[in-house]
């Protein structure tokens, strides 16, 4: 009935570089493309917190949203690694990889393509999205979710979900999640095709009926059933210990963004060997602790240079973050943000 799910990353939304908007009576489709991290950070995503660009390429991403009166389906794609730190604002956000690529969540779980992540409202989260990552996000209106659980006779599941006692990462049935992916992929392909055509060729009744039926009946029902059937991912003790080390290392880095911290300083603070620390950062971030700290400071510098009430000249501001070699800074900064520090300062 459905075509085989693609096993490579065809970022079809990236073919549409301009922002798109389709509004019908009961359905809205929005596609936004971002080349500027600061604009992306201000985009309302049901998330409150900070976004850090920790990849090697100029920032480039898109967010495509399908909204009905009962639920919201979002597709987030980007070309480089991005770190999110903060909390979700909506009741429950369900996230899963759009293709056979994973991301790391909360420093505990290594997400594979058969897992669904639950982002609970106002619960602390930290998520790393990998290069060329694509993820779907779904959240429901409370009344719609209540009715859905009642129809499916999953009252106990609903009770545990509202208590936030269900594990945040669940391994689900591979066939079910691939079926959900196919449905979502078809929905976005159809919407992108519609927006590329003239409005006169659009049948609003057909759009509303087909898309709402797939979203609110097929996608929603299959996700809830898959979550209710899922079992918790068992964590190895070693993985939990490494997670704690990583979290402490990040906290130390974030509290010392304007200090000259070496890897040896961090090892001494955490009482771990440099080899252990290097291995953990390589596994989670695909970079060394030193490079990770440099990326965090570049992001902090980028934010400060964008402030309207910034004080001091460029040299004073950059040296405040420990950047004394202007040529090297200009190269690294341009690689991340697509412009030089002086251009950001001029606004």
Q: Which of 184, 174, 186 is nearest to 113 (CA)?
A: 174
**H helical segments located in 152-262:** 155-162, 174-195, 204-213, 220-229, 237-254
Q: Report the pLDDT value the prediction gives residue 310, as an integer from 0 to 100.
A: 66
3-state class percentages of the chain: helix first, strand second, coil last, to nearest 5:
45, 20, 30
- Is residue 200 assigned to a domain? yes
Q: Give yes or no for residue 7 having a pLDDT over 60.
A: no
Domain co-membership, 124 together with 271: no
Domain co-membership, 268 together with 145: no
| Confidence grade of residue 3 (pLDDT, cut at 50, 70, 90) | very low
Q: Report the pLDDT value the prediction gives residue 237, as an integer from 0 to 100.
A: 61
Domains: count for the chain: 2
Q: Report the pLDDT value the prediction gives residue 299, as an integer from 0 to 100.
A: 93
Whole-angstrom distance, CA of residue 231 vs CA of residue 237: 18
Do the Cβ atoms of 137 and 44 come closer than 8 Å?
no
**pTM, entire model:** 0.82
Check residues 105 and 307 and name the one with the higher pLDDT: 307
Q: Over the Cα atoms of the chain, what is R_g? A: 22
DSSP label of 106: T
Whole-angstrom distance, CA of residue 314 vs CA of residue 320: 10
Q: Report the pLDDT value the prediction gives residue 322, as an integer from 0 to 100.
A: 86
Q: CA separation (Å) from 320 to 286, 301, 346? A: 27, 9, 18
Domain co-membership, 154 together with 221: yes
Domain co-membership, 223 together with 258: no
Domain co-membership, 140 together with 252: no
Q: Is 286 left (phi over 0), alpha (psi -120 to 50) or beta?
A: left
Q: Give yes or no for residue 111 having a pLDDT over 70.
A: no
- The domain in which residue 176 lies consists of 12-232
Q: CA separation (Å) from 49 to 17, 85, 87, 279? A: 26, 6, 6, 28
Domain co-membership, 216 together with 257: no
Check residues 272 and 190 and name the one with the higher pLDDT: 272
Q: Which residues contact 43 (CB under 8 A, 6 or more apart)?
A: 32, 34, 63
- Count of residues making up the chain: 347
* Torsion sign, CA atoms 249, 306, 13, 226: positive
Domain co-membership, 170 together with 259: no
Domain termination site, one of 232, 261, 286: 232
- Is residue 1 assigned to a domain? no
- Is residue 5 assigned to a domain? no
- Is residue 125 assigned to a domain? yes
Provide the CATH number for the domain around residue 228: 2.60.120.10
Tokens of 62: 């898109």
Three-state DSSP at 135 gives: strand
| Confidence grade of residue 137 (pLDDT, cut at 50, 70, 90) | very high
Domain co-membership, 84 together with 220: yes
Average pLDDT, the chain: 82
Domain co-membership, 253 together with 172: no
- Is residue 7 assigned to a domain? no
CA dihedral 195, 72, 127, 184 (to 10 degrees): -60
Q: Which residues contact 325 (CB under 8 A, 6 or more apart)?
A: none
Provide the CATH number for the domain around residue 341: 1.10.10.60
Three-state DSSP at 195 gives: helix
Q: Give tens-digit pLDDT for 15-70.
A: 567 788 888 778 888 888 888 888 888 887 778 888 899 888 888 888 989 998 89
Whole-angstrom distance, CA of residue 75 vs CA of residue 134: 7
Domain co-membership, 305 together with 243: yes
- Is residue 106 assigned to a domain? yes
Q: Which of 37, 31, 35, 39 is nearest to 12 (CA)?
A: 31
Q: Give tens-digit pLDDT for 172-188.
A: 898 999 999 988 888 88
Domain co-membership, 144 together with 264: no
Domain termination site, one of 180, 214, 232: 232
Domain co-membership, 139 together with 39: yes
- Is residue 6 assigned to a domain? no
Q: Give yes or no for residue 197 having a pLDDT over 80.
A: no
Check residues 257 and 132 and name the one with the higher pLDDT: 257
Phi, psi values for residue 156, rounded to 5° = -70, -40
Do the Cβ atoms of 293 and 253 come closer than 8 Å?
yes
Whole-angstrom distance, CA of residue 20 vs CA of residue 328: 38
- Is residue 2 assigned to a domain? no
Q: Give yes or no for residue 108 having a pLDDT over 90.
A: no
Instruction: Tell me the mean pLDDT in the region 130-159.
Output: 90
Q: Report the pLDDT value the prediction gives residue 240, as an integer from 0 to 100.
A: 63
Domain termination site, one of 184, 207, 232: 232
């Amino acid at each position: 009935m459905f075509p085989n799910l693609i096993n490579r990353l065809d970022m079809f939304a990236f073919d549409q570089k301009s922002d798109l908007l389709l509004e019908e009576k009961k359905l809205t489709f929005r596609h936004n493309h971002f080349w500027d991290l600061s604009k992306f950070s201000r985009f309302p995503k049901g998330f409150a917190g900070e976004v850090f660009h920790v990849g090697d390429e100029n920032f480039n991403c898109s967010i495509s949203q399908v909204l009905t009166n009962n639920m919201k389906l979002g597709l987030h794609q980007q070309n480089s690694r991005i770190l999110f730190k903060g909390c979700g604002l909506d009741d429950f956000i369900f996230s899963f990889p759009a293709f056979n690529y994973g991301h790391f969540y909360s420093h505990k779980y290594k997400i594979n393509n058969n897992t669904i992540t639950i982002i609970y409202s106002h619960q602390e989260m930290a998520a790393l999205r990998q290069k060329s990552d694509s993820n779907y996000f779904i959240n429901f209106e409370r009344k719609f979710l209540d009715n859905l659980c009642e129809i499916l006779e999953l009252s106990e599941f609903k009770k545990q979900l509202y208590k936030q006692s269900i594990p945040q990462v669940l391994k689900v049935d591979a066939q079910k999640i691939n079926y959900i992916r196919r449905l979502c992929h078809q929905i976005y392909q159809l919407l992108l095709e519609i927006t590329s055509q003239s409005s006169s060729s659009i049948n609003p009744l057909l759009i509303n009926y087909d898309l709402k039926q797939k979203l609110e009946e097929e996608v929603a029902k299959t996700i809830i059933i898959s979550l209710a059937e899922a079992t918790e991912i068992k964590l190895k003790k070693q993985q939990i210990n490494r997670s704690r080390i990583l979290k402490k290392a990040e906290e130390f880095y974030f509290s010392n963004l304007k200090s000259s911290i070496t890897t040896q300083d961090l090892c001494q603070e955490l009482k771990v060997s440099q080899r252990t620390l290097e291995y953990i950062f390589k596994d989670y971030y695909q970079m060394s602790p030193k490079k990770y700290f440099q990326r965090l400071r570049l992001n902090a510098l980028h934010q400060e240079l964008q402030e309207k009430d910034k004080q001091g000249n460029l040299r004073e501001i950059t040296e405040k973050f420990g950047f004394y070699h202007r040529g090297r800074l200009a190269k690294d900064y341009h690689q991340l943000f697509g412009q030089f520090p002086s251009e950001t300062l001029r606004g």
